[in-house]
Amino acid sequence: MARRATQLTPGTGKPEQIATVLEHEIRSGVLGFGERLQSENELVQRFSVSRNTVRKGLEELSSRGLITTKVGIGSFVTFDGMPVDDAIGWSRALANAGANAETRTLRLEIIEDAELAAKLGVESSSFIAVDRVRTNADDGHAISIERSRLPLSPELEDVPLRGLREGSLHQTLRGAGLVSDHGEEWVDIEMLSAADAAILDCAPGTPFLRTRRLTPADGRAIEFVTSLLNPAHFALHLEF
C-alpha cells in the first residue's frame, strides 16, 4: 500500500516515532486487522531511515501489542478494534468494542474447593463455578476462556437453577446487590493445555494471556476469575 513520505522530528527517537505513526494508522482504522504493513524497504524509503531503525520501530510496535512479524513474510496488524474494558463484563465489553463474539457456557454448577477458599480467606468451600468460552461468530476462531468462581452466598444460591441474568455474570452480581469499585488482577502467559486447546480449537502449547482477577464487595470476595485470552485480540494496558 503506497504511503507518502513521512518526515520525522529531529531530536526524538526515530524508532519510537515510526511506531507512533504506524500505531495511529492502526488505531484509526487506516490499517485494519490482519492487514500487511509496508515492507521494510518501503518503510525505509517512507521514513528516510536505515533498515535497522525500521526494524527497531516494528519491534516497538510489536511490544505495544499491535502487530506480529513473520520472518520472510512481513508484519501484520493484530489489533482489531477499540480498547476493551472488562469492568463491565466481557460480553458487553467485547460487543461495545465491535467484536462479533459468541459465548458458550461450559459449566454452571456448585462445586467444593477448599484450596481456593483458603486462598481467598472465605469460610465456606462451596463455590458457584461458571466456565464459558468465547469465539468469533464469523469464523469460529478462539477469543477466550473464562473460569469464574463465586463464593456461594444467600444472594446467589439460586443462580445454578435459574441461570445468569441476561446471560451476563456482571449483571447477575449487580442484580444480587454485589457491586465492587475496585479489585486486584494478575497477568502472565500460559501455554494452552491439551484440554483447553481442544476447547479453543488451537494447537496445544499456543501462548495465551492469562489473567486472574479478584473482586471484593463489602469486605468479602464475590468473584475470582481466571481468563485465557487470545493475544491476537487482547493486550495489557496499565495507567498509574
State mean pLDDT over 118-132.
94
Q: Name the average pLDDT for the chain.
A: 83
Across the range 135-149, mean pLDDT stands at 84
Residue 6 cell numbers, joined:
513521512
pLDDT tens digits for range 9-58 = 776 789 999 999 998 888 777 887 778 899 999 999 999 999 999 999 99
- How confident is the model at residue 179, as a pLDDT? 84
CA-based nearest residue to 133, from 20, 4, 230 = 230
Mean pLDDT across the stretch 69-89? 65
Q: Cell triple for residue 113?
A: 474447593
- For residue 86, the model assigns a pLDDT of 52
Amino acid at 52: N
The C-alpha atoms of residue 208 and residue 74 are separated, in whole angstroms, by 22
pLDDT-derived band at 146 (thresholds 50, 70, 90) equals very high
Higher pLDDT, 210 or 99: 210
Judged against a pLDDT cut of 60, whether residue 165 lies above it is answered with yes
pLDDT score at 145: 93
Q: Which three cell numbers stand for residue 60?
A: 516497538
Distance between CA atoms of residues 157 and 94, nearest Å: 28
Dihedral (CA of 88, 90, 95, 96) sign:
positive
Instruction: Record the pTM.
Output: 0.62
CA 95 to chain centre: 13
Q: Residues 207, 190: contact at Cβ < 8 Å?
A: yes
**Nearest-angstrom CA–CA distance, 240 and 226:** 23
Q: Work out the pLDDT band at 240, boundaries 50, 70, 90.
A: very low
Q: Which residues of 1-18 are buried (b: 16+ CB within 10 A; e: fewer)?
A: eebeeeebeeeeebbebb
168-185 confidence digits (pLDDT tens): 888 888 888 888 878 888
Burial 199-226 (b: 16+ CB within 10 A, else e): bbebeeebebbbbebbbbbeeebbbbbb
Lookup result for grid cell 495489557: 236
Grid cell, residue 221, equals 470476595
